Amino acid sequence: MKLIHVAAAVMNQTPLDWRHNAANVRRAIQAAREQGVGVLCLPELCLTGYGCEDAFHATNTHQRAWNALQDLLPETRGMVVSFGLPVFHQNGLFNCAALVVDGKLIGLVAKRFLAGDGIHYEPRWFKAWPAGVRDDFTAPDGTTIPIGDIHFDIGGVQIGFEICEDAWVANRPGATLALHGIDLILNPSASHFAFGKLEVRKRFVLEGSRAFGVSYVYANLLGNESGRAIYDGGALIASGGKLIAAGPRFSFADFKITSAEIDVDATRMNQARTASFKPDLGGDNKLRVIKPFRWPKVKAKQKTKPLVPASTWETSPKLKEEEFLRAEALALFDYLRKSHSQGFVVSLSGGADSAAVSCLVSLSLEMALAELGADALRTKLAYVQKLPQKIKPQSLTRALLTTAYQATANSGEVTRSAARAIADAIGATHLELDVEEIHHGYLRAIESSLSRKLNWKRDDLALQNIQARVRSPGIWLLANLNNALLLSTSNRSEAAVGYATMDGDTSGGLSPIAGIDKAFLRLWLRWLETKGPAGFHSIPALAAVNQQAPTAELRPADRHQTDEDDLMPYDVLDAIERAAIRDKNSPVEVVELMRGQFPNFSPQQLGIWVERFFKLWCRNQWKRERYAPSFHLDDENLDPKTWCRFPILSGGFEVELAELKSLISKMK
> Can you give the pLDDT at residue 451?
95
Question: What's residue 220's pLDDT?
Answer: 98
Q: Give the percent of the chain with pLDDT over 70.
A: 96
Give the pLDDT of residue 410: 84
Tens-digit pLDDT profile for residues 476-505: 999 999 999 999 999 999 999 999 999 998
| pLDDT exceeds cutoff 70 at 55 | yes
For 334-368, how does the pLDDT look when each residue is reduced to its tens digit (9 = 90+)? Answer: 999 999 999 999 999 999 999 999 999 999 999 99
At residue 307, does pLDDT exceed 90? no
- Asked if pLDDT for residue 299 goes beyond 80, the answer is no
Is residue 283 very low, low, confident or very high in pLDDT (cuts 50, 70, 90)?
A: low
What's the pLDDT tens digit per position in 502-540? 999 899 999 999 999 999 999 999 999 999 999 999 999
As its CATH architecture, domain 314-560 has 3-Layer(aba) Sandwich (3.40)
Q: Which residues pair with 242 in a beta bridge?
A: 239
The percent of the chain in helix, strand and coil, each rounded to the nearest 5, is 45, 20, 40
pLDDT for residue 328 is more than 90: yes
Is 579's pLDDT higher than 70? yes
Cβ-based burial of 613 (10 A; exposed 0-12, middle 13-18, buried ≥19) = buried
- Give the residue extent of every domain in the chain: 3-310, 314-560, 568-668
- C-alpha 348/C-alpha 587 separation (Å) is 36
Q: CATH number of the domain at 568-668, please? A: 1.10.10
Structure confidence at residue 549 as a pLDDT band (50, 70, 90): confident
Q: Which helix (H) or strand (E) holds 4?
A: strand 3-11
Question: How far, in Å, are 19, 21, 30, 187 from residue 24 at the CA level?
Answer: 8, 5, 10, 19
What mean pLDDT comes out for the span 190-214? 96
CA neighbours closer than 13 Å in the CB half-sphere of residue 123? 6
**223 with 14: CB under 8 angstroms?**
no
Could you tell me the sign of the dihedral formed by the alpha carbons of 509, 514, 519, 520, in that order?
negative
Instruction: Collect all residues with Cβ–Cβ distance below 8 Å to 549 and sequence separation of at least 6.
Output: 562, 563, 564
Helix (H) / strand (E) element for 478: namely helix 456-482
Instruction: Write down the pLDDT at residue 273.
Output: 82
Contacts of residue 320, Cβ cutoff 8 Å, sequence gap at least 6: 195, 520
Sign of CA dihedral 446, 452, 455, 459: negative
Each residue's pLDDT tens digit, 14-48:
999 999 999 999 999 999 999 999 999 999 999 99
What's the longest Cα–Cα distance across the chain?
93
Mean pLDDT, the chain, rounded, equals 94
Residue 302 has pLDDT above 70, yes or no: no
Instruction: Give yes or no for a contact between 218 and 205, defined as CB atoms under 8 angstroms apart.
Output: yes
Identify the pLDDT of residue 312: 83
pLDDT of residue 577: 96
According to DSSP, the residues that pair with 261 across neighbouring strands are 5
Stretch 329-337: mean pLDDT: 98
CATH of 3-310, one of 3.40.50.300, 1.10.3720.10, 3.60.110.10, 2.60.40.10: 3.60.110.10
pLDDT value at position 555? Answer: 67
